[in-house]
Structure 1
Amino acid sequence: MARWRPDARERLRQAALELFAEQGFAATTVPAITARAGLTTRTFFRHFADKREVLFADEAEIRAFATEIMTTAPTDEPLTMIVAGLRMLAETHFEGRKDDLRQRRAIVASDPGLRERDQHKRAMLAQVTRDGFRARGLDPLRASLLAETAGTLMYVSVAEWLDTDDGRRLGDVIDTALATLRTELEDLPTSNGQVASKG
């Protein structure tokens, strides 16, 4: 029977994305998705809790990935951990999916509820990173700053990567974003008005 075909999840995902793009997220129903995919609503709910989960199905997987990085990374140097973790995330969850991710971004941007859910996802990843640094002994302020920096680096880099077609891999964009941030911080005036030394 069709509902047991191993590609059912992907068929449902593709059908949902097509309908979200054609008629909007709010106007798309689960029965419409399953009809487009040629499957049953029962099959849909076997794979997704609701239609939003089509867009956020990787949330738990990415959270588990981030948790693993924070608990098993061999280095205690926070920025090294952040960059290594973000590069691994880029390779495992983003590379090869640029068109798909552009389509997802446009759908999320079109709906206030989806934008809020996306912000929740970002906050969740920051919390995982913050908790990981606290578990490694960093003080709360430093852990929070590093966690927010990691999230900002990732989101800014992904946006840059999706907005361009210059052949760069996402990991390379992350490296460029970090180098830019370092330069800006080095040029930041100190409390006495002097520019911090680059040496």
Structure 2
Amino acid sequence: MARWEPNARLRLVQAAIDLFCEQGYDSTTVAQIAERAGLTKTTFFRHFPDKREVLFAGQEEHRRLLAEGVAAAPADATPLGAVTAGLDALTASFTPEQREFAPRLATVVAGHGELRERLAFKELDLAAALADALRERGVPDPAASLAADLGIRAFSAAWGQWITPANSRSFPALAHRHLAELHRAATTLT
């Protein structure tokens, strides 16, 4: 591939996942990822601070989409209604290309403790962003934090199902279903 071709970020992600699957996370270097993508190490570091973060691309974008979705929810939306709007904004942003390589991404992350830890931090960060957006709407704690936690649990469960090759449902529909299941489960705790 020529270095000037578009989508350098996506090409780097795909190259990294390919290499991590072929030779392992620890054995793969940034130089190898850049070369596989047809780019330079300098280009890699323009997009990512290190090889770990290539797998978690888009964190700031995900935070922004969640917050914007919550802010755009109708004024009379319940906290979970606002969370649903945030999840809709986020899940609608995922592309068919991401779904295509996501099972391999999940395998790489599952096989490496450092990456599982990074995923857990990412989920905590997204829950914090969601809770902040709910507080901006006037939702007090602990309701804001609890609704945000349910939202991110629903997001994670939906993502796991969405990337399954046999799945035919949309990511937003899966997120709605998982959030509704979690809400029902929470109401049985009394």
TM-score range, shorter chain: 0.7 to 0.9
Matches within 5 A, 1:183-198: 183-186=184-187, 188=188, 190=190
Q: Percent identity?
A: 39
Structure having the higher Rg:
1
For residues 42-61 of structure 1, the C-alpha deviation after alignment (integer angstroms, 9 at most, x for no partner) is 22212222112211111111
Structure 1, unaligned runs of 5 or more:
191-199
Other-structure match for 2:143: 142
Q: 1:84 offset after TM fit, Å?
A: 2.4
Task: Give yes or no for the alignment of 1:37 onto 2:73.
Answer: no
In 2, the alpha carbon distance for the partners of 1:82 and 1:17 equals 31
More deviation, 80-89/67-76: 67-76
Other-structure match for 1:193: none
Other-structure match for 1:79: 80
Other-structure match for 1:20: 20
In 1, the alpha carbon distance for the partners of 2:126 and 2:139 equals 17
Distance 1:176 1:164, change over 3 A: farther
SS in 2 for 1:42: helix
Q: What do you get for the CA RMSD once the two structures are aligned?
A: 2.3
Other-structure match for 2:119: 118
TM-score by length of 2: 0.86
For residues 114-137 of structure 1, the C-alpha deviation after alignment (integer angstroms, 9 at most, x for no partner) is 111111110011111111222222
SS in 2 for 1:93: coil
More deviation, 116-125/68-77: 68-77
For residues 69-107 of structure 1, the C-alpha deviation after alignment (integer angstroms, 9 at most, x for no partner) is 233433342121112221232221255632211111111
In 1, the alpha carbon distance for the partners of 2:147 and 2:19 equals 39
Other-structure match for 2:93: 92
Aligned residues, how many?
189
